[in-house]
Structure 1
């Protein structure tokens, strides 16, 4: 009987290290990495992975959805965080409508991810909802 081999890898060729110190800096950083041609058309979710000093290890494109939603799988997020030995994560997704108010689904996934991160001693630093021009921070609004 053959069993599938599992490979786990993470590599970096990053020369310039980016340190994320507040939600405004996170917004400016992630916006520079977002495809602005579809930010108002299609909902996407990304995770920013950081080390203990909040230096960016990388960005993972978690999912692309439709106009009103996308899939956020906590198990996938945590598996990526563990693979690259991240100490913290920042969840970011856009609202194509331009409305920055978090939905009940946004609030629920934030709570679920925070609880799951706590079990693995990974810090959920923030969850940002972004548009082309602005953002909403769960941490800044005391919803973490």
Structure 2
């Protein structure tokens, strides 16, 4: 059996930890309620898609509930989208987030959560607990209204 000549395979790959930001904390939007989160999200949602395809986004928040960024976790079809929780938390960790507000739209205009909505909320909440990243809310948004899991006691 011939030994591999390149020994790089023995070295564990690593991630460099750095934190770069282009926005001062004082310039970041502050989330104080589900209403303020909805207002921010509604302004950031593509109006050509909110009633067309389902999208899943994440508000990444600092310790003081300032928005670090919005991560689009997935974009799907008319009736659903698939969220990879590992990618969601990779984005949260890279952004140095300590809190999350997850959100998705219902192109139908109805804001009632489905069983799949409840299931993904539970999974993300439980995964966040392991990483000390708190799930603060899950909003289902439409152009005219929203449903807040937190406000409704469903979180």
Corresponding position: 1:11 with 2:20: yes
Alignment partner of 2:117 out of 87, 92, 106: 106
Query: Aligned pair in 2 of structure 1 residues 139, 11: CA closer, same or farther (>3 Å)?
Result: same
Hey, which of these two has a bigger chunk of helix by percent? 2
User: Is residue 78 of structure 1 aligned with residue 79 of structure 2?
Assistant: no
Number of residue pairs matched by the alignment: 144
Task: Render the CA deviation track for 1:41-72: whole Å, top value 9, x for unaligned.
Answer: 00001100001110011111111000000111
The gaps in structure 1 that reach 5 residues or longer are none
Matches within 5 A, 1:1-144: 1-2=7-8, 6=15, 10-15=19-24, 16-144=27-155
User: Which of 1 and 2 has greater Rg?
Assistant: 2
Give the distance between the partners of 2:54 and 2:110, measured in 1 at CA.
Answer: 12
CA–CA separation in structure 2 for the residues paired with 1:56 and 1:78: 16
Question: TM (normalized to structure 1)?
Answer: 0.93
Q: Match of 1:40, SS?
A: coil
Consecutive unaligned residues of structure 2, counting only runs of 5 or more, are 1-6
| Displacement after TM superposition at 1:99 (Å) | 0.9
Q: With structure 2 as the length reference, what TM-score do the two structures score?
A: 0.87
Q: CA RMSD in A?
A: 1.5
